[in-house]
Every structure is written in C-alpha cells, then in structure tokens.
Amino acid sequence: QVISGGHYDVDCYVEDPNGRTIYKETKKQYDSFPHRTELQGVYTFCFSNEFSTFSHKTVYFDFQVGDEPPILPDMSNRVTALTQMESACVTIHEALNAVIDSQTHYRLREAQDRSRAEDLNGRVAYWSVGETVILFVVSIGQVVLLKSFFTEKRPGSGRAGT
C-alpha cells in the first residue's frame, strides 16, 4: 500500500528464482498478492516510481511466509470433534487475527492521513506568509498614496509662475 506521495500509486512486479514474472501491476495504490511457491530460491520484488520522478513515496508491504501452525498440537490428525474449550480457543485465535489485520489497516490509514495533514499544514503556512507580505505591501502603498494627497505642492518648484 502506498502511504504517501504523489497520486498514491506505484508500479510493482515479483519474479521467481528463474526470472519469470509472476506478478506485475502498474499504478496501483493498494493490492494483495497471494502466491504459493513452487521453486526454492530467491524471489525478487520491485516497487518502481519511475513514472513519477518528482514525488517521493512511502510504501508499506507485508510478507507472510509459510502456513500458520495449528493452534493445538494434535489438531491436524484429530478424528473426534473439538471440545468446547478447544473450539473457543480457535474462535478467539481467529478473532485476534482479525484484530491484528484491523490494527494494521488503521495504522496505515493514520500514517496516510498524517501525511496529508502535514502537507496541508505546510501549504497553509506558505499561504499565510504570502498573504502577510501582500498585506504589508498594500499597507505601505496606501500610506504613500494618502501622504501624496495631503502634501502641499509649492508653486515655485515645478512651473514658472505668473
């Protein structure tokens, strides 16, 4: 997920150890890519921002490697039904995983909103400085103009008198 920068979009691709592209997306803000590996080795991923050379971006990504181990040690080869305590543990575990996902989502949104607020704060500060400078220039201009209305022009200084 792109958290800050530009139009919140980035290019991404993933390659397997043989160099074959297994995932490629352009100008995405948020995406999920589940993949079960078939080859052992180094998988390469790249986030590219070459279409947007002036804006820097912050990207969040998360890897989940491997299958989640069972909650109970003998759960995979069990023939009988779960006891009430075991089923409650499974339910609580699933609820906690949902809470972890929600917290991650809210942290990302908070970081995104903070970035927008700081950008807006900077713009307001520049606008305020600009308005202040314009206010001083207009004030000085008005003082000079009003002063010129009330200054007496001497007859001998400009034209020859009659």
Q: Quick one: average pLDDT of 13-36? A: 85
- Percent of the chain residues past pLDDT 90, beyond the cut: 22
Tell me the per-residue pLDDT of 62-82, one tens digit each, with 9 for 90 and over: 777 766 776 766 666 665 677
**10 pairs with which residues across the strands?**
28
Domain chopping of the chain, boundaries: 1-66, 84-151
Tell me the per-residue pLDDT of 77-129, one tens digit each, with 9 for 90 and over: 665 677 788 788 888 988 998 898 889 888 888 888 888 899 899 999 999 99
Supply 31's token pair: 């995406």
The answer to whether residue 141 scores a pLDDT higher than 90 is yes
Radius of gyration of the chain (CA): 33
Q: Quick one: average pLDDT of 34-57? A: 82
Considering only CA atoms, which of 48, 43, 56, 44 is closest in space to residue 7?
56
Q: Are 3 and 58 in contact (CB under 8 A)?
A: yes
28 phi, psi to nearest 5 deg:
-110, 145
Q: Write down the residue that tokens 């921002």 correspond to.
A: 49
Task: Tell me how far apart the alpha carbons of residues 149 and 98 are, in angstroms, rounded to a whole number.
Answer: 75
Supply 15's token pair: 């390659």
pLDDT given for residue 127 in this prediction: 96
pLDDT given for residue 5 in this prediction: 75
